[in-house]
Amino acid sequence: VQRQQMSNRTFITQFLLLAFADTRELQLLHFWLFLGIYLAALLGNGLIITAIACDHHLHTPMYFFLLNLSLLDLGSISTTVPKSMTNSLWGTRDVSYTGCAAQAFLFVFFISAEYSLLTVMAYDRYVAICNPLHYRTLLGSRACVHTAAAAWGSGFLYAFMHTANTFLLPLCQGNALDQFFCEIPQILKLSCSETYLREVGLIVFSAFVVFGCFVFIVLSYVQIFRAVLRIPFQQGRHKAFSTCLPHLAMVSLFLITVMFAYLKLPSVSSPSLDLVAAVLYSVVPPAVNPLIY
């Protein structure tokens, strides 16, 4: 553990991330597996971004939000996977204090902005199906830019508050994290001060916001499905469902994996289970989202 003594206070200069494996063969297996997933995410999301940017027929609100979603997916998976691949390839575990803070900030930023954007996309589908005559009025180009900017901005503000609260805490429980990337709940475990309750309070507040967005998404889809079932023609119902089900599948994948990671009982928690849960919500969705769409 590298530390510096300054004014009778101990500062951690690096963290040790959780290794996927101890043997060289398994480390290389992890490297190639993550490389394949990462390249698939880059290719899939890159193709979506290119197609939407180049085809003027796709310059609609739904595809504009999908382009933003692909950008967020690329950002989130690029924040965690390359560092983990590098550590496995070179047999290291360390990450600098600054690098850890940057990784924690960027990951929370991309994940929270993505959830905000998924909420906006639910509203987009609601207006398109339940109020089609007002669609262009409610979701014109300016409104789309403003709502997307609000999603990115809320993610930035949320990440800044979480990261600042976490990394201002004194840490005295060592520097080893039980995760393959710098995750804020794992860093809080290293705190030796009761001021961590302030960060826990922020997490509780965030849980209420997340739940509010979830209720909004559910209510939107209740109205959507009621409207779709009133469509007299099967072809019309099929077209409406085909535009909604990918988004609903993506929301479900995102929420199920995050809830599994953060809301599981302490009695069933273990480093291995936490590792699997983290992979499910940080690595799998960015790679699977392009396949869903």
CA-to-CA separations, 189 to 32, 41, 198, 275, in angstroms, rounded: 31, 31, 14, 16
pLDDT in tens, 160-173: 988 988 888 777 77
Q: What is the structure's pLDDT at 3?
A: 43
Distance of CA 61 to the CA centre of its chain: 22
Query: Distance between CA atoms of 124 and 119, rounded to whole angstroms?
Result: 9
Residues of the chain with pLDDT under 50: 1-9
pTM for this structure?
Answer: 0.86
Q: What is the structure's pLDDT at 262?
A: 64
pLDDT in tens, 225-272: 888 888 777 777 777 777 778 878 878 877 777 777 666 555 556 667
Widest pairwise Cα distance in the chain: 75
CA-to-CA separations, 52 to 74, 131, 239, 246, 275, in angstroms, rounded: 16, 24, 20, 17, 35
Say if CB 170 and CB 191 are below 8 A apart.
Answer: yes
Orientation of helix 61-90 relative to helix 24-54, angle to 10°: 160
Q: What is the structure's pLDDT at 170?
A: 79
Residue spans of the domains in the chain: they are 14-291
- Write out the CATH class of domain 14-291: mainly alpha
Query: Distance between CA atoms of 13 and 3, rounded to whole angstroms?
Result: 6
